[in-house]
Structure formats: structure tokens, C-alpha cells
Homo-oligomer: A and B are copies of this chain.
Amino acid sequence: MILGVPIGEAAKHSGVKVPTIRYYEQIGLLAAPARSDGNRRHYDASDLHRLTFIRHARELGFEIDAIRTLLLLQDDPNQPCATADGIAKARLADVEQRIRSLTALKAELQAMIEGCSHGQVAACRVIEVLADHGQCQNAGH
């Protein structure tokens, strides 16, 4: 019988690091693969597919638990996709919120840096603004 690729190959192919793959197996995100005589993990095409799916979802910022749900959905293609849609929408809302607060933050930091006269700490806008929230441009944070 043909064994799949060893964990190092799986890592290269999927972009998930070796210890991380083992970690995913440990927490039950990825099923334990077949083992060779020498007790080594060997991954087949569907394992690699799953790993790539996981890596991609992680890159998009999905949490492990959300990915767990998405993987279950993937295994059961006759289900309505409202759940997957909901997960993605929640993620989108989260991303939008983050962009908003980071943008406010960016303005704050820029004002701090521009106000800094590059002299001594005593007159440093960076330190001053951090010490006194009242000097912030917007109270959104």
C-alpha cells in the first residue's frame, strides 16, 4: 500500500509548521494520520487539503473553534451554508471594527510623533499624550 508524505513534506506543502501540525492533531483539529512501521506520521491528499484549508482560514484570522465548525460543514456538503456564511460575516464585522480603531490609532500616533520636537523627554509630546488621555484627538479608544 502507498503511504502518504511524512510530516516535513506536509509542512512544506501546506505552509503549516511541523510542530503546529502535531499541535493541531493534539487538540483534535486534525485527525491522527496513518503511521509507518517506524511510528512516523504519513499524510495523504485529503489530510493535506485539510491542512491547507486550516492554514488559509488561520491567515484570514478565523479562530480555531470557528475552523472546527467550518471543517465539520465541509464534511457534510448537504447542509445549508448559513452557518459558514454567519461565521464569515461575524469575521467581517470584526475586521471592519479593527480597521476603524486602528485608523483612529494611526492618527493618534501620527499626531504624537509630529508633535515631538526631538528635544528632551520633559517636553515630549509622545510621553505627554500617553499620560493624559484628554489630549487625544478622538475619544474612540
Contact = CB atoms under 8 A, between A and B. Distances in A.
A34 interface: no
Nearest to A85: B116
A108 B95 CA distance: 11
Number of copies: 2
A: interface residue count bin: 35 or more
Interface of A is mostly: helix
A120 B106 CA distance: 41
Shortest 3 CB-CB contacts between residues of A and residues of B? A77-B122, A81-B124, A92-B109
Interface of A: 49, 52-53, 56-57, 59-61, 70, 73-74, 76-82, 84-85, 87-89, 91-92, 95-96, 98-99, 102-103, 105-106, 108-110, 112-113, 116, 118-124, 126-127, 130-131, 133, 141
